[in-house]
Amino acid sequence: MQIFHIQAPEEAIRPAIQSKIDNLNKPKGSLGRLETLAMQICLAQQTLTPSLAHPCHLLLGGDHGIEREGVSVSPREVTWQQMVNFTKGGGGVNMFCRQHGFHLRIVDVGVDHDLSQIPDILNRKIAPGTRNFLHEPAMSPSEYDRAISVGIELVDACHTEGCRVLCIGEMGIANTSPSSIWMSLFCHIPLAECIGAGSGLNSTGITHKYEVLTQALNRFNSQLSTLNSQLSPEYIIRYFGGFEMVVAIGAMLRAAELQMLVLVDGFIMTACALAACQLYPAAQDYMIFGHCGDESGHRRMLDFLRAEPILSLGLRLGEGTGALCAFPIVDSAVRMMNEMNNFDNANITKYF
């Protein structure tokens, strides 16, 4: 099992950061959320001159055994078809990465299709999809460890290039199902309140999804009772998670360990952030939550984390697109710290 050494940011620098923010040539507090973002970023990087150098985006693809139970309106093959589409620049994630200058890495960590010959897709396949957690754990302990290691490897490559801010997106049909179960178990919220339409289920489909996930959760709980097992976060993550989700957790934790900022996307990536924080609570100090999406339960999960999302645009595409949309706001907070003049240099009377 990988051990991370994640420390909450040192607080000694906070007064100096606040003083710099308050002495910029503006009324005190007048830039609102930009000021709180600037404080978080400066604390995370332990500096008065923060940087968003070499922003990177990891797009992780993986399939889910639970998809076989008809819990998604989209068929399994859409995962690999979209992964190929991303290499041609045709996805929403491609557009936003181009717009905001992110280096995009497309990574197959568990797609149920041979993508090894496709240019521009990194092959880190752990297995061709997870097992069906209606009947058994989605992944073995060794597969879980491998997924965490892949996340570490990907972040280390970005960090070596000078990356200070990381965005993570996913492509995996049916991955709202494990996200909903993680939310229910980690937040202690009834499963019915954690399930939504995913990629477009109607009311009948949502009811079927609820019935399947309830069966899976009941079987999981009965097995725990029989085995007298400890309900550790790792076990919950491994039992239900997708490879792309566990790789994302490993990436988030490694980024926090390296004091990199992590832009968190929608429902699935917030579920990954939730799981990561169950393992290492201090990791949240390095996370910036990009938006509140349209998937049922996302707002409640954010509330559980006491996370304030930057945007609320009704998005539910995934791929990391919501977090990428929020990046200009983060950039503005950093530019405020580095480019705004202060009262003394501007020869303006400080009136408060």
pLDDT in tens, 52-61: 999 999 999 9
Q: 14-50+337-346: which CATH topology?
A: 1.10.1610
Contacts of 3 (CB under 8 A, 6+ apart): none
Among candidate residues 77, 170, 319, 339, the one labeled active-site is 319
Query: Phi and psi (nearest 5°) for 106?
Result: -100, 120
H helix or E strand, kind and range, residue 261: strand 261-264
The model's pLDDT over 250-292, given as tens digits with 9 standing for 90+, comes to: 999 999 999 999 999 999 999 999 999 999 999 999 999 999 9
Report whether pLDDT(177) > 90: yes
| 56-329 shares the fold of 14-50+337-346 | no
pLDDT for 102: 98
**CATH classification of 56-329, choosing from 3.40.50.10210, 1.10.760.10, 2.130.10.10, 3.20.20.30?**
3.40.50.10210
pLDDT above 70: residue 160: yes
Q: In whole angstroms, what is the distance from residue 43 CA to residue 114 CA?
A: 43
The proportion of the chain whose per-residue pLDDT surpasses 90, expressed as a percent, equals 83
| Domain residue ranges in the chain | 14-50+337-346, 56-329
Q: In 10 A of CB 187, how many CB atoms? A: 17
Residue 229 has pLDDT above 60, yes or no: no
The pLDDT of residue 26: 86
Q: What confidence score (pLDDT) does residue 228 get?
A: 56
Per-residue pLDDT at 205: 84
Closest Cα partner for 143 from 217, 242, 53, 47? Answer: 242
pLDDT in tens, 74-96: 999 999 999 999 999 989 999 99
Q: CA-to-CA distance for 326 and 259, rounded, in angstroms? A: 20
Annotated catalytic, 153?
A: no
Amino acid at 309: P
| pLDDT value at residue 350 | 65
Answer yes or no: are the C-beta atoms of 251 and 165 closer than 8 Å. Answer: no
Which tens digits make up the pLDDT trace of 117-147? Answer: 999 999 999 999 999 999 999 999 999 999 9
What pLDDT is attached to residue 52? 97
Q: Please give the pLDDT value at position 341.
A: 86
Distance (Å, whole) CA 275 – CA 268: 11
Element containing residue 122 per DSSP (H, E)? strand 121-123
Checking if the pLDDT of 337 tops 70, the result is yes
What pTM, to 2 d.p., does this model score?
0.95
Give the pLDDT band of residue 347 (cuts 50, 70, 90).
low
CA-atom Rg of the chain in angstroms: 21
**pLDDT tens sequence across 22-45:** 999 888 899 999 999 999 999 999
Look over the chain and give the mean of its residue pLDDT values, rounded to a whole number.
Answer: 93
Mean pLDDT (whole number) for 192-204? 83
